[in-house]
């Protein structure tokens, strides 16, 4: 998982301490903003010796707080509100001094007080001289931080700013970003709970508190810096399912390929481009879910090689070498701790034969087959019809708008899942 994967609109509080690695945190803030996360920055006084608050203000788009009690900042968010606001706090670079304070629950400056007041996950990215890192007392503090539930993003080995060589360089910003993304995938509910459901999202209660993971839209498989292979999926079917699941009270994570649609604020949206990125995002989140619905039109093949430069046309004919992508549905179905797995089948002929084949071959629980490439329904249309198969039966859902159809499919999924669970419990 890398920069290509986007988790939107989450609130990250970046707490910068005084170390030379503070300059790297500017890049971290830039990356977080690029991921459309909301970022606020707080700094210790000594951090301001290494990098100015103005730099972080420009990068985050918000004033930077540097003191616990500061009349001049009385219009800014108070430290308790700031601790409540954050979905995640990242302390970077975490100095040996700050680690010691956090490990003992001291609260004598803005950052240590915020961390003590916070209920959200706290990530700590240490950076210090290699001897300081190796000292038994630092390692004891580290162990204590972990015992108290903080997530350590370990420092790396290499040449240090002081000229010494050893462990102590702060992890690269992209590594810190990936850890934060992974954390969101593993526990989306905290993030989603922060978004109040509006009237449109009145719950039917059918899926109250149930975790549902949905994939939607197409994938893009790059050929060169400007060209890619894709398909006609608009994401309408998958987004309608996300909305329907939300209305039924579910905690929804939506993994989406590039589409022109706006996701409901109350879903955890993870934006991806390629089939590989979709695979990584879905497989990271799937073990914590009750239901997975694969409505995305995932590329079955991807170019063996992505050219670094635009492919030239002078040579006349060209041959493309493609390789199979990983089968996301089958991989989720093969997990030890697996959700109820629902696939889609997009068919232009022999719908029933191919759909039933996919149901068996991919080892899933239910498959919703639709005709594609026809006048009505399928790719990029507002309406659709589904022929749904499971191991013991089938049901036809007639042509209607995708939103209505999504509600019908969610109800059917719940029925089948309850039936499967009842059978499992009584058998």
Binding site for ligand PMT (CB under 6 A): 217, 233-238, 275, 294-298, 300, 325, 327-329, 343-346, 358, 370, 372, 378-380
Phi, psi of 412 (to 5 degrees): -65, -40
How are beta strands 366-371 and 268-271 bridged, if at all? Answer: unpaired
Interacting residues of 391 by C-beta distance below 8 A, sequence separation 6+? 359, 365
How are beta strands 38-43 and 88-94 bridged, if at all? Answer: unpaired
Are 88 and 116 within 8 A, CB to CB? no
Distance CA 286, CA 340 (A): 10
**176 or 417: whose CB is closer to ligand PMT?**
417
**10 or 381: whose CB is closer to ligand PMT?**
381
Are 312 and 263 within 8 A, CB to CB? no
How are beta strands 383-390 and 393-401 bridged, if at all? Answer: antiparallel
**5 or 372: whose CB is closer to ligand PMT?**
372
- What is the number of alpha carbons within 13 Å of residue 243 lying toward its C-beta? 19
Least distance from ligand PMT to the Cβ atom of residue 344, Å: 3
**96 or 369: whose CB is closer to ligand PMT?**
369
Least distance from ligand PMT to the Cβ atom of residue 183, Å: 24
Least distance from ligand PMT to the Cβ atom of residue 402, Å: 6
Least distance from ligand PMT to the Cβ atom of residue 186, Å: 21
**91 or 282: whose CB is closer to ligand PMT?**
282
Distance CA 21, CA 172 (A): 10
Distance CA 387, CA 359 (A): 13
What are the catalytic residues?
Answer: 162
Least distance from ligand PMT to the Cβ atom of residue 86, Å: 34
What's 109's DSSP letter?
A: S
**141 or 234: whose CB is closer to ligand PMT?**
234
Distance CA 146, CA 133 (A): 16
Least distance from ligand PMT to the Cβ atom of residue 343, Å: 4
Q: What would the 3-class secondary structure string for 341-397 be?
A: EEEEEEECCCHHHHHHHHHHHCCCCEEEEEECCCCCCCCCCCEEEEEEEECCEEEEE
What's 267's DSSP letter?
A: S
**267 or 329: whose CB is closer to ligand PMT?**
329
Phi, psi of 377 (to 5 degrees): 75, 175
Please, what is the angle between helix 22-34 and helix 53-60, to 10°?
A: 10
Least distance from ligand PMT to the Cβ atom of residue 90, Å: 33
């Amino acid at each position: 998982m890398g920069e290509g994967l986007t988790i939107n609109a989450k609130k990250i509080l970046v707490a910068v301490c005084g170390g030379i690695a503070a300059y790297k945190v500017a890049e971290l803030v830039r990356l977080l903003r690029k991921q459309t996360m909301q970022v606020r920055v707080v700094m210790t006084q000594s951090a301001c010796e290494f990098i100015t608050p103005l730099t972080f203000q420009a990068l985050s788009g918000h004033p930077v707080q540097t003191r616990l009690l500061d009349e001049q900042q009385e219009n800014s968010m108070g430290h308790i509100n700031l601790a409540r606001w954050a979905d995640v706090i990242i302390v970077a670079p975490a100095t040996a001094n700050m680690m010691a304070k956090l490990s003992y629950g001291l609260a004598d400056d803005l950052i240590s007080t915020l961390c003590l007041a916070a209920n959200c996950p706290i990530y700590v990215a240490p950076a210090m001289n290699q001897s300081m890192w190796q000292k038994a007392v630092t390692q004891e503090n580290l162990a204590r931080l972990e015992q108290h539930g903080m997530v350590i993003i370990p420092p790396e080995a290499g040449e240090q700013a002081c000229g010494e060589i050893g462990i102590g360089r702060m992890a690269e910003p992209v590594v810190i970003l990936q850890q934060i993304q992974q954390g969101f995938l593993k526990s989306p509910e905290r993030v989603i709970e922060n978004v109040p459901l509006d009237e449109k999202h009145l719950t039917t209660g059918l899926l109250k508190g149930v975790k549902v993971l949905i994939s939607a839209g197409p994938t893009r498989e790059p050929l060169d810096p400007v060209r890619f292979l894709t398909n006609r999926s608009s994401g309408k079917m998958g987004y309608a399912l996300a909305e329907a699941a939300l209305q039924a009270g579910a905690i929804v994570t939506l993994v989406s390929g590039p589409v022109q649609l706006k996701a409901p604020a109350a879903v955890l949206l993870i934006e991806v481009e390629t089939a590989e990125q979709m695979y990584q995002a879905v497989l990271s989140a799937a073990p914590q879910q009750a239901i997975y619905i694969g409505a995305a039109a995932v590329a079955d093949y991807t170019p063996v090689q992505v050219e670094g430069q635009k492919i030239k046309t002078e040579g006349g004919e060209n041959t493309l070498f493609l390789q199979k992508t990983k089968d996301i549905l089958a991989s989720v179905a093969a997990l030890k701790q697996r959700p109820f797995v629902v696939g889609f089948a997009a068919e232009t002929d022999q719908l029933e034969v191919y759909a039933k084949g996919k149901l068996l071959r991919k080892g899933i629980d239910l498959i919703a087959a639709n005709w594609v490439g026809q006048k009505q329904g399928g790719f990029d249309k507002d309406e659709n019809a589904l022929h749904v198969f499971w191991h013991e039966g089938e049901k036809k859902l007639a042509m209607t708008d995708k939103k209505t159809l999504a509600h019908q499919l969610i109800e059917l999924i719940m029925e089948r899942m309850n039936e499967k669970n009842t059978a499992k419990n009584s058998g």
